[in-house]
Structure 1
Amino acid sequence: MPLTKEQIKLIENVIKDSLRKKFQTYNPETKNMPFHYRLLGRDRMVLFSFIHSLNTTFGTSIFEPVAEILASLNFEFAQKQYVVGDAISEQAQFEIQRIMNELTIGKNPNKAKEIERIRKVCNKGTMNKLKTVKVDLFVQSADETVHLFDLKTAKPNISNFKDFKRTLLEWIAIFLAKNPNAKVESYIAIPCNPYEPRPYERWTLKGMLDLDNELKVGKDLWDFFGNDGTYEELLNCFERAGIELRPEIDAYFSRFK
């Protein structure tokens, strides 16, 4: 099922509104770079700085709302920045640490088994209070399976994968604390494959993540939210938005020549 005209309009508006808002609030770095300016031009340096700044906000300002719109195609419920809870059982924390220790010494990850291990202790021991825990995107399918997504940059820092894994397991424990019988999954979501057309270099994540059940990248991610072909339609939305905004973009950066 292709995107509806209404969904396409919503997605393109999210993209355009986000970029226009960025233009209104962005202040180029004020540090003097006389050699760079003379070699490359101040407008190009401002553009480079702008793109870097935009990349840091792409997730919350564009990818999250777009994913929420797309997920409405296939899921009963979808919400960005969803609160999953604020408590985790002490025994679940101990179990998560045991899982992490096992992975560290070379045990292969198995998300299904890890979830069941956490489920058995999700309400055992002291319930430790946490700061309110939000996931980037929460979606629930017709069979009531819950999917929790942590959106990352295209090439996340390898040194952080251990923390990513712990976060995914803790989300499971926090959600099960309130819903012990729920069917729930958690994922690292990477919006695009920087190695395309080659496959994503999943080996960088191997050892911590159950790659088939905890990672969704690029086309697999967006087609999961929508349907087959959603990724290509989404790229077209970005292209159309870019073409429409081109005069505004050119006018903005011409100020810095």
Structure 2
Amino acid sequence: MWRTTASRLRAHCRPHALRRLYSPPPPRVDPPVTPSEARRLVRLVGVEALKRRLRDGPREAIGYGELLDACVEAGAARTRDDAEGLARAMDDAGVLLLFRDKAYLHPEKVVDLVRRAVPLALEVEDDPRKEELRQLQEKKDDIDKLAHKQVRCILWSGLGLITSQIGLFFRLTFWELSWDVMEPIAFFTTASGLLVSYTYFLVTSRDPTYQDFMERLFLSRRRKLCAKHRFDMDRYLELHRHCKCPLEGRYPNGSKLHSL
């Protein structure tokens, strides 16, 4: 009975109905871009072109009216009122600085000048960190003097070693042995010095000069002395940076203005 019923259903079903039943759904079509969205995209492109034009220009500041004209010419604003709103938005975002009918195109430079001039007026008289910095400065000076003294001792020891080597070669050449024996020894000794210099250049990526060697030796000795005397170099640098420019201590995000 069930088989008879199923065969009758298959016979009465039309082919197009079966295709409609088993056909995949139609592809999804995204709605078209509306005029308001198109105007917004065009405005964003104009804003980016305006920012690039202002940043890449040779001038540090322009007039406010000239800025509004540039906004309209770049397509970032359609009317003068839209240009004024865009200028205020760019000022709030830190892209430029509006001050006394002028538009400063590099606000980070203005902030740098203010940070250099204002700290003396904002500095607190009875700041306990000043006393801590003074104590750390005295301790650092003592460590630097000791490190410099140790470096000088090492350099004088090197001079004594070179002088002793020359005296030994002189003695072996003219008294103990002969030049025929000492010539290859002197050659390989000189070649070993060149090998050491080249190895120094490969390791440090700097020219193997006596001045550079002395500076690196001084930094190494100072680092070891700081660890020995438990001197907190990070704390010292933090206090030195704060006392030099208190704005960084009060406004932690102030240093980020330079990367805008």
Which structure carries more helix by proportion? 2
TM-score (norm 2): 0.20
Q: Is the strand fraction higher in 1 or 2?
A: 1
